[in-house]
Structure 1
Amino acid sequence: MGSCIICGADVDGGGRICDPHQEDVVFDFQGDSPHQLVSDRFYRGVVDGYAEFGVFVDLAPGVTGLLHRSELDRRLDSLDWEPGDEVFVQVKGVRDNGNIDLAWSIRQADREFRGVLVQDGETESLPQEDGDDESGDDESDDADASESDGGADGEDADDGATESGAAHGDGAGDAEPVDGGTASEGATGATDDFETNDSGTVESDDSDEADDLDEDRERVDIGTLSEAVGDAVRIDGEVVGVRQTGGPTVFEVRDETGVVDVAAFVEPGVRAYPEVEVGDAVRIDGDVESHRGDVQVESEALVLLDGEEAEAVRRRLAEALTDEARPEGLQPLAGDETIAQLADGLLDAAEAVRRAVLESRPIVVRHPATADGYVAGAAVERAVLPLIRDEHSKSDAEYHYFTRRPLDDPVYGMDAATNDATRMLQDRDRHDEQLPLFLLVGTGSTVESADGIDLLSVYGVDAVVVDAEVADPETREAVDTLVSPEIADIDGDLSTGALVASLASAVNDDVRDDLRHLPAVSYWADAPDRYVDLARDAGYDVERVAELREAIALEAYYQSYQDKRELVADLLFSDGGDLAAHVSEQFREKLETEIGTATANVVTEAVDGVEFDVLDTDGYTHRYDFPPTPLLLDDLHRRRANGEAHATVGIGTDELYVRTSADVSVRDVAERAAELAPAADIATAGLREGKIEFLSGERDAVEDAVVAAVAEAF
């Protein structure tokens, strides 16, 4: 029986990784059959070549898998991989014929995994163990260890130590050596003449004293380190993250000017400075190095600050946060007066977002998987990513500190909240990440989202809600920051995309010009003239705006749970028009086909002077293809609502959608229908999309009750 290199748990069959940590390590595959691969594991591979439908990746000689383009988080032609490049992929599964299905891995470096293992057929071993000869020649092992990256030559300590094969530890306080780990020259420049003391600092055999700070050094700002590569420096700051790699411990340290990784080495996989935790004020002497474009500091000495020195660090950080986080003011796009009335709330929301960036807290944006929702989410993304790049020296920081997670429904329910809570707790426990800021745009402002928001509040997580619709009073009391019109009749032509585009310009005024066309794209019909004119000034005429809207709507539907970051950015910000025109053509073809089918099967009736179109969405729509039912009913209603008293009802197995030409409250309709059909358990499921749920066995009674309730409401 073996033991897990991450947690030490017993593993049956002599394996080296337990089931819960399978996805925390990357494997070098040295087998000879695809069927030896293990599904869901991450493997190192080499790009073999491209095809129209994806990328072929060699995992071993004669063992090649396909990374299909549908598995990518970007367009296939935007990949910068070349044949022969080393890449990291996940094995989704192996088919009976030996074909290997691969999935994309956002982690594309050794240091982003918690360990490295060799899989030779069905056996697992550490790289050192795999390289040992039968005579147990120690000289070979020592030579291999001394050649790893991250030595005193100035190469990257993170990468090299991971390649030594030891596992990453579990974070703060984990100071036990990993099986198979051997001392090697590391970020401190230690050699065999050095040993570690109890505190994790490095001592020479010739001295009983630990390495001390250099009294002659003066503090430098982290923001200037890119200009100090090769220099010995001192930095003072606060620890905002700790991660244990297979080699050094990496402390993420920030001061008032930026954030940098500090590598401290004792032995491969052994926690350096175990007394240092997130939130501590520290002083570090070290050398500035650059590897693959990332700046990091290789620590010579690190000490905890206390008393006045610690207070000085925290005071500088607090003053910098206050100065940098609060925008100077709000200038609504197109001078929108409705948005100007919400200026105080939008500035509070912008400050919360900017503060999260400065505090190195991840930001999670939740938005509906609609054209309006994607425009809103993309606007925030456009504003925040440059701030993250400016704040963090790591080139991939934007993927760690910003995430968009679209929602199938415009309700932040328990399913979404449970997913978010699980992820954030895993990131906290596995990687010592801070709990994120949640920014809910176009969702979270109604009572249907109350349970989800309550779950986040249990963990003290900050939530910011921004919605163009009027929020429920209960929600206003439940979230930290809420931006929403106070009264129902404030102005009926405000979209969430328009509101959030102005928020994004307050978050980062440098991208204001990039956002000018977004409000017009966010309106499905009758965009206000002020936004049409603003888009035209930005170079987007009415036709191009419509193409963008339709293209985003189509892409929002497919893999709706994915953010499609690069594809959406290409459409909204980098496309000359060809991509949007191509996708929008598909949108129109699919929509027209479904509209034709729906129109031929609509049942029209008049009730109390109201004309109803009722569509059986189970029988006369393709439920698992584009367009989604809400979008189809929107378009159907616009085309057929010739008079003022018109309603469209799409009814399925246990849910229905209502569209009306009058201002009818879906909640009121649901409550009245529940009185008329008490056995149907009728309830509002989505206020923003006019969605009502019921028991499928009472479908006929529900249809009659809803039609009657809508007619009464006109």
Structure 2
Amino acid sequence: MSKECPDCHGRGYKVVSTEICPQCKGKGKSKSIDFMKMSEKNLDSFLKNGAACEKCKGTGSIEVTTPCKTCKGLGKIYTCKICGERIENPQDPDEEICESCAHSQYVYALDESCDLKDVEAGKLYHGIVSSKASFGVFVDLNPHVRGLMHSSNVGIPPEVGEAVIVLVKSIKAGGKLDLIPKTLKKYETIELEKELPLKSSAEIDSSMKGKLLRIEGEVIQVKQTSGPTIFTISDEGGFVPCAAFESAGKRSYPHIDAGMIVSITGEVTLRDDQVQIEVMSMKLLTGEKEAVVKSRVERVIDEKAAPADIPFLIKSEIMEKLKPRMLHVAKEIKKAILHSTPIILRHHADADGITSAIAIERAILPLITEIGGTDAEYYFYKRAPSKAPFYELADVTRDISFALEDLSRHGQKMPLVILVDNGSTEEDVPSMRQAGVYGIDMLVIDHHHPDEIVDQYLIGHVNPAHVGGDFGVTAGMLCAEVARMINPDISDTIKHLPAVSAVGDRSEAPEAERYISLVSDRYTIEELKEMALALDYEQFWLKFSSGKGLIDDILDLGDHDTHKKLVSLLCEQANTMIQEQLETCLFNVKSQKLSNGTIMNVIDVENYAQKFTFPPPGKTSGEVHDVLTKRYPDKPVVTIGYGPDFAVIRSKGVLMNIPKIVRELREEMKGAGVSGGGHLVVGSIKFVEGMRTEVLSKLAEKIASTDVEY
């Protein structure tokens, strides 16, 4: 602010003394004059009064002055309009701001949620030049607020797209802003947001349609449509889709991706009867703000992810010992769902693996839908069978490829991979290491004999061998109980799955008998076996497809009449094909008695069994083994079905450790390329074709040196 200097009365100087005018010698009259330059009026005055001295203006004297020390010759005293302090040497008197306040001069950046009501005259704002006209320059303070810098206030017009600082001189009728450009060397930017209530997604419903609000959370998905960009935001309450429109098909907020913490302001709308936020503003949160939101969301999610610590369906000492591990795995799965992390559920393609996966699937799908909406299953869940009882490189390659495509197309996070009825052995390690490169977390629920090496790649591992149990406690039993911890509401729906798993994997553990007895009022033992056979048969034809719907009907999770008809038909077809296979194979079985009393039976399934049809080599070997154990009821029996580069082993009464045998063969037979594994007494071995005779001979030697139960 400025006012007239009291010492010089606004003149900027003080009179020290007066002197006689040196030009007119005190007479006040000019000695000479040019009549040719004089106007008629001045000529009349001259004739009457004479000519006044130009130097002293006719007074005959002149003043001797000195600049006013008070105002420094300016005639005014300037004080800072912010703090009121005197400005001694203003660089720009029009600014009327002292140097100290210039450091903290505020320039406001209008958030996209702001409108004209949030603008005040007399304040400085950041803007972008949007267009130019003959009468001035239009400046956008944000996409909704525009003003005009009149040409009379603009020196060199800025270019379209150029960032400028403007002073809002006035707000005229109709909301027109009169702007003045300002050049500031020092200032502080303040981001101005509309004051809106902060809501969690759980608090937003259809009754709030049309209301403006603010949410904070993590971006879990970015999906570009032909119109807006859809950002799915996860917070402590769940999730909410937010639509941001730049132009048709153009990516909005391209700097914001999945995994980032953001603050969004917008209007509640409804799309297909679902709540959606029309985005007015989206800001990336960093530093302390990001940490606060993350901590708040994580704390609530951790509480919500707590699994149900409920009694098991049956009594089991092994599972009681495993309970802490099972609760941990259940919590990790629930946390993934609450974080909207995609889930890939991998399972062995047999009855045990399928029932294991379906139990988990039935538990998590309602939660995924609840958190992510009706179409969330499509984006956040995938179930896929694995032909081998371990995580093959072909499987992990497909999973990583699909995950990267989803990351690119939908902005999704990398998935959580859940391996059931596989994942415990050294054979899984190469795939696990590949998954680790992309930061993919993995969980395992399995009953194959575990190798300690896999645990470093997992965030959770449930296996009965960890607490002194064995493969008799099937993956289907473990997964059903974990599923109930995740979602107790599905207990009655899935309680028959462990029994199907038990008969399908031929478990002789006491837990098998208890689970079978648990559902004896609903299914006979024969009906359970038929379900297991139908699963094996149908999955053979499904190959790598999950068979959703078909598998549900086989397991009586849909229409009961359809279930009975389908299982009956599938078992009829399967048994016919098994019988045909047996008629061929049994004729070509070669048997011999080993030194430990074991009856060893071998069958070349490559040359003496139907190929590319049901039952496959593993199932064929198992069916042959069942017939031969009945033929030799009181003797230990081993059946080996072999091909060019593999052997499938089934045994009864022989105390083998197949994973150990595989390790020994690999060490002892360099160049044979031995790999494989499985349960202690049931498994498979791979080798190079040229070493088949040597590997099978060595395998027979090891079986002959194994203890037997008879």
State whether structure 2 residue 326 is matched by structure 1 residue 346. Answer: yes
Q: Distance in 1 between matches of 2:353 and 2:235?
A: 35
Residue matched to 1:541? 524
Cα deviation, residue 322, structure 1: 1.1
Give the match's secondary structure for 1:333.
coil
Amino acid of the structure 1 residue aligned with 2:383: R
Kept after mapping to 2: 8 A contact 1:655/1:692: yes
Give the match's secondary structure for 1:713.
coil
Call closer, same or farther: CA 1:254–1:674 in 2, change over 3 Å: closer
Cα deviation, residue 295, structure 1: 3.4
Cα deviation, residue 307, structure 1: 6.6
Which segment drifts farther, 350-359 or 465-474?
465-474
Query: Per-residue displacement from partner, 1:499-533 (whole Å, max 9, x unpaired)?
Result: 11111111111111111000000022356221012
Query: Per-residue displacement from partner, 1:155-190 (whole Å, max 9, x unpaired)?
Result: xxxxxxxxxxxxxxxxxxxxxxxxxxxxxxxxx999
Q: Distance in 2 between matches of 1:476 and 1:234?
A: 45
Q: Distance in 1 between matches of 2:445 and 2:663?
A: 27
Call closer, same or farther: CA 1:243–1:606 in 2, change over 3 Å: same
Cα deviation, residue 197, structure 1: 8.6
Call closer, same or farther: CA 1:249–1:526 in 2, change over 3 Å: closer
Residue matched to 1:52? none
Q: Distance in 2 between matches of 1:690 and 1:213?
A: 65
Kept after mapping to 1: 8 A contact 2:446/2:462: yes
Q: Distance in 1 between matches of 2:259 and 2:538?
A: 41
Give the match's secondary structure for 1:341.
helix
Kept after mapping to 2: 8 A contact 1:384/1:508: yes
Cα deviation, residue 624, structure 1: 0.8
Q: Distance in 1 between matches of 2:529 and 2:559?
A: 14
Call closer, same or farther: CA 1:601–1:324 in 2, change over 3 Å: same
Residue matched to 1:134? none
Call closer, same or farther: CA 1:449–1:205 in 2, change over 3 Å: farther
Amino acid of the structure 1 residue aligned with 2:699: V
Q: Distance in 1 between matches of 2:283 and 2:410?
A: 22
Give the match's secondary structure for 1:218.
coil
State whether structure 2 residue 651 is matched by structure 1 residue 651. Answer: no
Amino acid of the structure 2 residue aligned with 1:540: Y
Percent identity, please. 29
Give the match's secondary structure for 1:237.
strand
Q: Distance in 2 between matches of 1:621 and 1:295?
A: 59
Call closer, same or farther: CA 1:293–1:339 in 2, change over 3 Å: farther
State whether structure 2 residue 519 is matched by structure 1 residue 532. Answer: no
Residue matched to 1:481? 460
Find the partner of 1:604 among 587, 591, 594.
591
Q: Distance in 2 between matches of 1:233 and 1:616?
A: 73
Find the partner of 1:325 among 305, 313, 334.
305
Q: Distance in 1 between matches of 2:178 and 2:420?
A: 59
Cα deviation, residue 290, structure 1: 3.5
Q: Distance in 1 between matches of 2:534 and 2:646?
A: 27
Cα deviation, residue 258, structure 1: 1.3
Q: Distance in 2 between matches of 1:679 and 1:476?
A: 27
Residue matched to 1:663? 655
Residue matched to 1:700? 693
Query: Per-residue displacement from partner, 1:539-568 (whole Å, max 9, x unpaired)?
Result: 233232222111111112113211112221
Find the partner of 1:450 among 406, 415, 429.
429
Which segment drifts farther, 251-260 or 276-285?
276-285
Which segment drifts farther, 299-308 or 327-336?
299-308
Give the match's secondary structure for 2:613.
coil
State whether structure 2 residue 335 is matched by structure 1 residue 355. Answer: yes
Find the partner of 1:582 among 551, 564, 569.
569
Kept after mapping to 2: 8 A contact 1:471/1:485: no
State whether structure 2 residue 420 is matched by structure 1 residue 427. Answer: no
Residue matched to 1:624? 612
Query: Per-residue displacement from partner, 1:549-594 (whole Å, max 9, x unpaired)?
Result: 1111111211321111222123221141222222222222222221
Q: Distance in 2 between matches of 1:235 and 1:595?
A: 69
Give the match's secondary structure for 2:242.
strand
Residue matched to 2:485? 506
Residue matched to 2:535? 552
Cα deviation, residue 229, structure 1: 6.6
- Show the 5 A alignment for 1:347-496: 347-393=327-373, 395-486=374-465, 489-491=468-470, 493-496=472-475
Cα deviation, residue 674, structure 1: 6.0
Amino acid of the structure 2 residue aligned with 1:635: E
Cα deviation, residue 449, structure 1: 0.9
Amino acid of the structure 2 residue aligned with 1:291: R
Give the match's secondary structure for 2:520.
helix
Q: Which has the larger radius of gyration?
A: 2
Where relative contact order (Cα < 8 A, 6+ residues apart) is larger, the structure is 1
Q: Distance in 2 between matches of 1:250 and 1:700?
A: 61
Call closer, same or farther: CA 1:356–1:197 in 2, change over 3 Å: farther
Runs (4 or more) in structure 1 with deviation over 6 Å come to: 196-199, 204-209
Cα deviation, residue 687, structure 1: 2.5
Q: Distance in 2 between matches of 1:480 and 1:498?
A: 21
Give the match's secondary structure for 2:220.
strand
Kept after mapping to 2: 8 A contact 1:234/1:283: no
State whether structure 2 residue 258 is matched by structure 1 residue 271. Answer: no
Amino acid of the structure 1 residue aligned with 2:517: D
Give the match's secondary structure for 1:246.
coil
Kept after mapping to 2: 8 A contact 1:670/1:682: no
Residue matched to 1:298? 278
Give the match's secondary structure for 1:400.
helix
Q: Distance in 2 between matches of 1:228 and 1:285?
A: 18
Q: Distance in 2 between matches of 1:441 and 1:400?
A: 21
Kept after mapping to 2: 8 A contact 1:236/1:281: no
Cα deviation, residue 227, structure 1: 3.4
Cα deviation, residue 249, structure 1: 1.5
Cα deviation, residue 401, structure 1: 0.6
Call closer, same or farther: CA 1:660–1:232 in 2, change over 3 Å: same
Residue matched to 1:592? 579
Q: Distance in 1 between matches of 2:673 and 2:232?
A: 51
Query: Per-residue displacement from partner, 1:33-67 (whole Å, max 9, x unpaired)?
Result: xxxxxxxxxxxxxxxxxxxxxxxxxxxxxxxxxxx
Give the match's secondary structure for 1:604.
strand
Find the partner of 1:710 among 698, 703, 706.
703
Kept after mapping to 1: 8 A contact 2:425/2:448: no
Cα deviation, residue 245, structure 1: 2.3
Residue matched to 2:62? none
Find the partner of 2:627 among 639, 646, 659.
639
Which segment drifts farther, 507-516 or 220-229?
220-229
Kept after mapping to 2: 8 A contact 1:616/1:650: yes
Kept after mapping to 2: 8 A contact 1:681/1:694: yes
Query: Per-residue displacement from partner, 1:248-287 (whole Å, max 9, x unpaired)?
Result: 1211112211112111112112222334343443333333
Amino acid of the structure 2 residue aligned with 1:535: V
Find the partner of 2:553 among 546, 556, 570.
570
Kept after mapping to 2: 8 A contact 1:411/1:686: no
Call closer, same or farther: CA 1:220–1:450 in 2, change over 3 Å: same
Amino acid of the structure 1 residue aligned with 2:672: D
Cα deviation, residue 324, structure 1: 0.8
Kept after mapping to 2: 8 A contact 1:220/1:233: no
Call closer, same or farther: CA 1:376–1:507 in 2, change over 3 Å: same
Which segment drifts farther, 487-496 or 655-664?
487-496
Give the match's secondary structure for 1:228.
helix
Query: Per-residue displacement from partner, 1:314-347 (whole Å, max 9, x unpaired)?
Result: 3331121110112142432223332121111111
Find the partner of 1:681 among 648, 672, 676.
672
Residue matched to 2:213? 234
Q: Distance in 2 between matches of 1:430 and 1:198?
A: 33
Which segment drifts farther, 574-583 or 349-358?
574-583
Query: Per-residue displacement from partner, 1:295-316 (whole Å, max 9, x unpaired)?
Result: 3222233344567655543333
Q: Distance in 1 between matches of 2:223 and 2:440?
A: 22
Amino acid of the structure 1 residue aligned with 2:366: P
Kept after mapping to 2: 8 A contact 1:330/1:343: no
